[in-house]
Amino acid sequence: MAKEVSPAHAARRLGVTLDAIYKLIYAGKLPAHKSGTRWLIPVVRLKLVSGLRRGVMQPLAVDVREAARLTSLSTSTIRRHIRVGQLKAIRLGRRVVVSLESLEKLVREGPSPLNSVNGQTSRAISSYRQDTFSRGSDSAGSAGPAR
Q: How confident is the model over 77-106, as pLDDT tens digits?
A: 999 999 988 888 988 888 899 988 888 888
- H/E stretch holding 41: strand 38-42
**Cβ 101 vs Cβ 68: under 8 Å:** no
In the chain, what are the domain boundaries?
4-49, 61-136
Report angle CA 116, 118, 120 to the nearest 5 degrees.
105
SS3 readout for 61-129: EEEHHHHHHHHCCCHHHHHHHHHCCCCCEEEECCEEEEEHHHHHHHHHHCCHHHHCCHHHHHHHHHHHH
**Which pLDDT score, from 0 to 100, does residue 105 have?**
84
Q: What percent of the chain has pLDDT over 90?
A: 9
Say whether pLDDT at 118 is over 60.
no
